[in-house]
Amino acid sequence: MLSALLLLLAVPARADAFPDPFPQSTQEASVEIESPGHLVLFSPVREINDEIRSETMARLPVTGEGRLYQLARDATRREARDHYLRGLQEEGARILFECENVRCGRSVIWANRVFGQAVLNGRDSEQDYLVAVSEDGDGARWLTLVYTVTRGNLRDYVWVEHLRVQPEAVIPGLAEASRRVLGPWVVPWQGEVTYRFDWHATDRRRIRELAEQPGALVVLAGFSALAPDESYESARARAEAALTSLSEVLARTGVSRDRQRLIVVGPGIALSDPERQGNRIEIVVIRR
């Protein structure tokens, strides 16, 4: 069951609507996209002998739009990325791939060869990319691509593509069986006897609504950071106590205990994702 915590998946929502722009940004360009073979990357980009290479990529039949935004000087790429990520999570979108900094490959390739937007050519150490899939109420699949970068002049840009994928197309990394698993919602926690949980009201509402579906299970995994000189057993016990506390919170808000499954992880699994570190509880909902 723990492997389910690594998945994000789409559910019927407003997947057909273009993502709301980050408030502290100005749209600079819009490009209509209609192609029988639009290039979408699901792994870092490389260039070999003047050809784009990526371990997982596809040319997909799509229709949609790309939009270029410049961020205000007092805004950050991280804030913009988090804005789009929250919107995708609220729609139940599944993240198929994401990367940061030099792990994405060279910015100049993303800018000129992948997106065709020279203004996106920035610092390899200050970029990030994600591609997510969601499904609208009619069963149509939508890909959302978000790329942010800082240029040499310190101005930040965001490129967003929102693409309807034709029904016959095969999207890499999208398995039919995974449509049953939604999440993870990452909930940081603090405390020792009483606990404070840092999560959005929209996340709580979404989990409660999903848990009401017949046969749904809510799986909670408790993680803890290993403090200096702390034993594994002590860190695991802290994670278990926080996990039990959040389970009680969910029960009081309408997610019955018989719908919940608790997994105590403690410090036993390390993830590279910077958003999934430290004391936290990760929640997924598994539908029948």
How buried is 80 (Cβ within 10 angstroms: 0-12 exposed, 13-18 middle, 19+ buried)?
Answer: buried
Helices and strands (H and E) in the chain: how many: 4, 14
Supply the pLDDT for residue 275. 74
Q: What is the pLDDT of residue 205?
A: 85
Q: What pLDDT score does 101 carry?
A: 93
Q: Are 195 and 280 in contact (CB under 8 A)?
A: no
Query: In which residue are the tokens 């205000």 written?
Result: 72
Q: Answer whether 0.75 is exceeded by the pTM.
A: no
Task: Give mean pLDDT in consecutive 10-residue pieces for the chain, a chain of 288 residues.
Answer: 38 69 96 95 89 90 97 94 89 87 94 96 95 84 96 95 92 67 87 89 84 92 93 95 96 93 91 82 89
Task: Give the per-residue pLDDT at 225.
Answer: 94
- pLDDT given for residue 200 in this prediction: 80
Of 20, 81, 87, which is closest to residue 273 (Cα–Cα)?
Answer: 81
Q: Which two tokens stand for residue 73?
A: 């000087």
Whether 98 and 130 have beta carbons less than 8 Å apart is answered as: yes
Token pair belonging to 217: 């299970």
At residue 1, the pLDDT reads 45
